[in-house]
Amino acid sequence: MGLMMSQDDLARAFREAGVPSANKRLIQRWEAGSTGSPNAANARALERVTGLPIEALRFPPSASLARVSKDSHGGHDVDPSPGGVPAPSAATTPQNAPALGRGNYSGVWLSRYEYYPSGRQNTFTGLHYVVILQHGTRLTVRSLPGSSDSPLAMDLEVDRNVVTGTWNEQTAKDGYYRGARYHGAIQLLVEPTGRRMSGKWVGFGQDFDVNSGPWELVLKDASTSKATISAYDRLPDETGR
């Protein structure tokens, strides 16, 4: 429900994420709880598609700590990290990939952007707590459902201190924009500490004009544990603390 996807849509997304056998029946088993723990490949696909750590999806932590050993058919070692998210390793990160500030951007971040709607003659701020999961140089960003009634998602790529990608937001059905879906591009620069990203978004407006504005992500907690996510699954206050 949070992803605005049917079971068939979700199964298709898992196939695109590298699980060719995923089907509607598999999704139904996961939702019903009849599958206790997905294998390592399915766990990584679940994290990639939902943008949340496996523990937040009510699967046991062992699912995210599975080690896939190299064998005659290939494969990668996945080492557990403190937050329960596989950390990038030599097997998952290209050899020529640059240093990435903190090394891993997984965690809970505060997302803040500004927009100026032509029909309202004022500048507004959009606030979400989001979970970032890193897979090599790719970042999947998903808002926590309790932090806003307008779900937000971003798919980003890290290149040195530059983060580039796309964003989309489904506005609240009972809000000013009546459930309209907006999307566009975003580019951010990462500060040397790796704890803040700031830049600009671009996207079409309500009157089909192209708008732009500032956007920043500020790290709140590097953990993606269930307890941390629960603590931030709420509305940010006006100061963004």
What pLDDT, on the 0 to 100 scale, is given for residue 174? 73
What pLDDT, on the 0 to 100 scale, is given for residue 43? 83
Residues of the chain with pLDDT under 70: 1-4, 36, 58, 60-103, 117-121, 175-177, 179, 206-207, 238-241
Is the CATH number 2.40.160.90 carried by domain 107-232? yes
Q: Are strands 152-159 and 138-143 parallel, antiparallel or unpaired?
A: antiparallel
What pLDDT, on the 0 to 100 scale, is given for residue 94? 36
What pLDDT, on the 0 to 100 scale, is given for residue 34? 77
What pLDDT, on the 0 to 100 scale, is given for residue 17? 85
What pLDDT, on the 0 to 100 scale, is given for residue 62? 56
Q: Model confidence over 167-203: pLDDT tens digits?
A: 999 887 776 667 688 899 999 999 998 999 999 999 9
In the block, which residue shows the tokens 């979700």? 10
Q: Write out the residue limits of the CATH 2.40.160.90 domain(s) in the chain.
A: 107-232
Question: Which pTM value belongs to this model?
Answer: 0.64
What pLDDT, on the 0 to 100 scale, is given for residue 105? 94
Closest CA to 106 of 132, 143, 142, 141: 132
What pLDDT, on the 0 to 100 scale, is given for residue 75? 35
Q: Model confidence over 137-167: pLDDT tens digits?
A: 999 999 999 999 899 999 999 998 999 999 9
What pLDDT, on the 0 to 100 scale, is given for residue 99? 38
